[in-house]
Amino acid sequence: MADFPPCDDVCGALEEHVRRFFGGQELEAFTWSAGPILGQNPHFRVLRVPPKERGGLWTYLSIGGWAATEDADRGLEFVLCTEAEDPRAVELLAATTYYHQGGKLGLGHTVPIGEPWLTGSACDHLLICLPYPFGPDLQTCHVGDRHVDFLWLLPITEAERAFKVASGLEALESRFDQVGLRYWQVDRPSAI
């Protein structure tokens, strides 16, 4: 087994990775006290990055999700973007991180929310995919022998999830490219 840094060191290194990527933008940290996440993972927090420009997106990133697989040399963190500042993003990251306990989630998996991701949206699932809006510089962080990926939580509809199950992740992502998916829009129509 590899020699891993303590939890606080890993979380600190991940936070520094995010700070470097966002180049000095002011970050704010949040926790989610409702629900079981802090009992399961006391290191969990969410970093919120404001948009650089007016009309840009708010970015929320989990820190502590990697601990779901702390005995392995790989871990995951999650990224979610919103059009407006919204504490619901912190809640969704807490729920996803909690659900990931034991390493249940990975690239291409879908998390059912059971309700719209934001009020007024038809999207009620989160697709775990590569962080395309940010690229590989955000995606990958090495902390000692541990490799942590920041993966994107993309809100999708039930029809889009069914299409992914039937046709595969690549086909769904191609469909999103074809329609010019505006993933941040709460009231966006289904691409399927």
Q: Within 13 Å of residue 121, how many CA atoms lie on the same side as its CB?
A: 25
Is a pLDDT exceeding 60 seen at residue 158? Answer: yes
**pLDDT tens-digit readout, 14-51:** 999 999 999 978 899 998 988 888 888 888 999 999 99
The mean pLDDT of the chain is 90
DSSP labels, 58-87: EEEEEESGGGGGTTSSEEEEEEEEESS--T
Is a pLDDT exceeding 50 seen at residue 184? Answer: yes
**DSSP β-ladder status, 74-82 and 146-156:** parallel
**pLDDT tens-digit readout, 81-96:** 999 999 999 999 999 9
Residue 35's pLDDT is: 82
Structure tokens at 28: 């704010």
Is a pLDDT exceeding 80 seen at residue 72? Answer: no
Choose between 94 and 70: higher pLDDT.
94
- pLDDT category at 7 given cuts 50, 70, 90 is low
**pLDDT tens-digit readout, 95-127:** 999 999 888 899 999 999 999 999 999 999 999
Residue 24's pLDDT is: 78
Alpha helices in the chain (DSSP H): 7-21, 37-40, 88-99, 136-139, 158-167, 169-179
DSSP secondary structure letter of residue 97? H
Residue 5's pLDDT is: 42
